[in-house]
Amino acid sequence: MAGELVLLDFWPSPFGMRSRIALAEKGIPYEYREEDLRNKSDLLLQMNPVHKKIPVLIHNGKPVCESVIQVQYIDEVWHDKAPLIPSDPYQRAVARFWVDFIDKKIYELGSKVWKTKGEEQANAKKEFIECLKLLEGELGDKTYFGGESLGYVDVALVPFYSWFYAYEKCGDFSIEAECPKMIAWVKRCMQKESVAKSLPDQEKVYEFILQLKKVFGIE
């Protein structure tokens, strides 16, 4: 089932990191192609004509779009290696619920933290921390969200850690002070090579966001 595997991605994308982690965790070789989002390649536009966004996973010439769908696809195709999605139907439903929660909340609220100021930023920080605390509650005393091994929710959430430093610098707050259990979980994830090698340096992401702030005229 291996065949030709290509990932069209952009290095700071937490969504692309999900696919990178899933492929690394399963030990699947693939070709990584960095996209210039200001000058999108013909291949990207051809493979994702609807959204024209990264990441796009191309398997034997066929595109799979949207990061959570890619992780599901990777897990189904290479199901015999490091399974990520629970086999139990109820546990699978719970995992999908939390991945949906992460997709609807974390990126948007994190973006508001670095894009806004004053009361709007304060509200975004408050809601962001509240969301992380809800995730801490779901994590409980487990090693990972899925139990003893890295799973679907872990893969969906941990890429955002690479953006935490930028959120903290732009919002002048400490995520670890508010959510120590979350950061302890992150550190466990980062001990895994599949995660550590898939996430970019936090300061590099912060520099990228500072460039974006200049582009958008955000002081």
Q: What is the CATH number of the domain that holds 33?
A: 3.40.30.10
Whether residues 119 and 190 fall in one domain: yes
Residue 129 lies in a domain: yes
Strand partners, 59: 5, 62
List the structure tokens of 114.
């670095």
- pLDDT truncated to tens, each residue of the chain (219 aa)? 557 999 999 999 999 999 999 999 999 999 999 999 999 999 999 999 999 999 999 999 999 999 999 999 999 999 999 999 999 999 999 999 999 999 999 999 999 999 999 999 999 999 999 999 999 999 999 999 989 999 999 999 999 999 999 999 999 999 999 999 999 999 999 999 999 999 999 999 999 999 999 998 987
pLDDT for 2 equals: 56
CA-nearest of 152, 142, 156 to 185 is 142
The structural domain count of the chain equals 2
Amino acid occupying residue 2: A
Residues 107 and 33 in one domain: no
The pLDDT value recorded for residue 216 is 87
Q: Among residues 175, 161, 154, 171, which one has the least CA distance to residue 205? A: 161
Q: Among 14, 49, 78, identify where a domain stops.
A: 78
Rounded distance, CA 90 to CA 120, Å? 38
Whether 195 and 129 map to the same domain: the answer is: yes
pLDDT at 218: 86
In this structure, are 30 and 74 located in the same domain? yes
Same domain, yes or no, for 117 and 40? no
User: DSSP string of 59-114?
Assistant: ETTEEEESHHHHHHHHHHHTTTSS--S-SSHHHHHHHHHHHHHHHHHHHHHHHHHH
Q: The domain containing residue 109 runs over which residues? A: 89-216
Query: Same domain for 169 and 114?
Result: yes
Same domain, 104 and 61: no
Please tell me whether residues 71 and 93 are part of one structural domain: no
pLDDT of residue 13: 98
Nearest to 121 by CA among 85, 54, 63, 172: 172
**In this structure, what CATH number is given to the domain that contains residue 169?**
1.20.1050.10
